[in-house]
Amino acid sequence: MELLERYLVAVRSFLPPAQQDDIEEELSANLHAQMEDRAAALGRPLTESEQEAIIQQHGHPMVVAARYQAHQGGLVFGRQLIGPALFPMYLRVLWVTMGVSVAIYLLVRVALVVAGNAMTFDEMLNTALVQLVIQFAVVTGIFAVADNYLPAMEWDARRPPVMPAIFRQGQLRPYLQAIVEIAVIVLCCYGLWLLFTRPSLLFGAAADPYQPGPIWQQVVWPALAIALVSIAMPIITLVRPVWARARPVLRLAVDVAVLGVLVYLALGSQWVVLAHAGSGSTSALTTINAVMFYSLRGLVIGTVVVCLLDGWKLLRQTRKRPA
């Protein structure tokens, strides 16, 4: 029954984790019953070729998995483009490709800004939307064509197709989480870069008379180190899942480091200064620094709360871990 076992594993790969055991048990019972009935009719055990014929007749693993799942949706534009058999995998592939595209786009934009080729926020948003629309159209087109030819798709019962691990439910979440975390960190770094080097891109010409005070230069390297560690954490978790236990410790360490930087900034003054003597309004400068005063203290309080929550989570995990 090695053929049957391989087929069951293939169908299982296309099923949600919560339904895999029950559906596999039901499908196994059905196929065993068909093979036993066929063997009884022939009066002898089935050959491997006869077993293969029964499995082949039962259908492609992806189609069979779709039969056992209710209300898993589809994509309809006037007519059905993607049916229930491919729709779950379509969504996972779409999320992965879009997430990777956004992450790459942000990295490229940061590199271009560093090189001196800046864009306005509206230009960035329009370009990003165009990229996402292209990704959606390409992935949707590929799956629509595949869905059209799926009923006649050839496959080998001796080597049944299995869904790649990265696209399976339960396996996709860590990859998406890592992509989102990295994209958010890169986007924040990019925003800070614009804020301190080209504030007019964010706030218009009204920001030209002002510039960041000297205190910000003193926290550049600590902030860069924190950003690099934050980006490295999700990557390490994916590459070395065994090291995932160390992630709560690293997260708490990053929280404490961020708190230290914020406290240092909050204890300072003159966070914003005039770019040139007499280039801006003194009253406006006073108002900006007052806003910074209260904002930094609010961030310190918020970061303290985050540190306490992450510390409590780490303590609970440590207590649950077996000795």
The residues, any chain, with a CB within 8 Å of residue 109's CB and separated by 6 or more, are: 119, 124, 190
Check if the beta carbon of residue 187 is closer than 8 Å to that of residue 124: no
What's the rounded Cα separation, in Å, for the pair 270 and 290?
A: 9
**Residue for token digits 């007019």?**
200
Residues of the chain with pLDDT under 70: 1, 69-80, 85-86, 89, 100, 103-121, 149-155, 163-181, 183-184, 187, 191, 200-207, 237-244, 279-280, 320-323
Residue 212 main-chain phi, psi, to 5 deg:
-65, 145
pTM: 0.50
- Between the alpha carbon of residue 168 and those of residues 5, 12, 89, the distances in Å are 19, 10, 8
Q: What is the largest CA-CA distance in the chain?
A: 102
What's the rounded Cα separation, in Å, for the pair 42 and 116?
A: 78
**Residue for token digits 């483009």?**
81
What's the rounded Cα separation, in Å, for the pair 298 and 293?
A: 9
Using alpha carbons, select from 218, 216, 197, 219 the residue that is nearest to residue 208: 197
Looking at residue 323, its pLDDT comes to 47
Helix (H) or strand (E) holding 79: strand 79-82
Residues in the chain: 323
Looking at residue 318, its pLDDT comes to 79
Looking at residue 267, its pLDDT comes to 92
The string of pLDDT tens digits covering residues 60-89 is 777 777 777 655 566 666 666 777 766 776
Residue 81 main-chain phi, psi, to 5 deg:
-90, -40
